[in-house]
Amino acid sequence: MDSLRGLAAGEIDHIVKNTSNHWRKAFNVYAKLLFDWHHEKNRKDLSASWQEYRDEKLFRAQSQEALLFSKPELDSETQSIHIIAGKTYAATLNLPPLIWLDSHFAINKKHRLIVAPYPDYRQLSNARIAQLIVLMKELE
């Protein structure tokens, strides 16, 4: 693809049913992260649960987030927060200098960039999701 588009209704379910269990886990972790992030921000139209958020709003055209499979376009003027999923992948991207906060998270505040664990239950656990949200707040 050379353009960005939101997922259509039912597309996450279709992807999960027609691929490996890996995508179910990844979508669930992203839904938990973004649901908790929007909850922290007191978003008024928030779904009742992360599961409902996943099924009705995650990566949709009207959402404020996107899942990209390419290096982010880093611009210090942007309001976007860029989260790179996995330090192995991050190492292939020739990113600007990062400050490693621990073995799981790195940050570059100028470019509003965070390297976080891969979106998998073991790597990006609920405790690490909470830690990631703290880092995201620092970039607001």
Q: Which domain holds residue 109?
A: 68-140
Say if 1 falls within a structural domain: no
pLDDT of residue 76: 64
46 and 93 inside one domain: no
- Tell me the CB-side half-sphere exposure of residue 26, using CA atoms within 13 A: 15
Q: Do 58 and 72 lie in a common domain?
A: no
Quick check: 95 and 88 in contact, CB under 8 A? no
Q: Look at the chain and report how many structural domains it folds into.
A: 2
Task: Decide which of 34, 67, 100 is a domain's last residue.
Answer: 67
Structure confidence at residue 45 (pLDDT): 86
Average pLDDT over residues 18-22: 87
SS3 121: coil
Q: What percent of the chain has pLDDT over 70?
A: 98
Residue whose token pair is 């269990």:
21
Of the candidates 28, 48, 67, which is a domain's last residue? 67
129: Cα within 13 Å, side-chain hemisphere: 22
Lowest mean pLDDT of 34-48, 61-75, 97-111, 117-131, name the range.
61-75
Are residues 121 and 75 both part of a single domain? yes
The answer as to whether 90 is a domain residue is yes
User: Which residues on neighbouring strands pair with residue 116, listed in sequence order?
Assistant: 85
Q: What is the pLDDT of residue 22?
A: 87
Question: Are 49 and 83 members of one domain?
Answer: no
| Beta strand segments in the chain, E | 82-85, 99-100, 106-108, 113-116
Task: Please report whether residue 106 resides in a domain.
Answer: yes
Residue 62 lies in a domain: yes
**Residue 112 placed within a domain:** yes
Instruction: Please report whether residue 74 resides in a domain.
Output: yes
- The pLDDT of residue 75 is 74
- The model's confidence at residue 137, banded by pLDDT at 50, 70 and 90, is very high
Same domain? 30 vs 96: no
Which range, of 2-6, 23-27, 49-53, averages the lowest pLDDT?
2-6
Decide: 31 and 39 in contact? Cβ < 8 Å.
Answer: no
Residue 2 lies in a domain: no
CA torsion angle 91 96 104 69 (round to 10): -60
Same structural domain for residues 88 and 24?
no
Residue 3 has pLDDT above 80, yes or no: no
d(CA 134, CA 113): 13
Domain boundary, last residue among 23, 51, 67: 67
pLDDT tens by residue, 66-95: 888 888 888 767 789 999 999 999 999 999
Token pair listed for 78: 């942007």
Whether residue 83 is contained in a domain is answered as yes
pLDDT at 1 over 80: no
Sequence-ordered list of residues with C-beta below 8 angstroms from that of 15, at least 6 positions apart, any chain: 23, 27
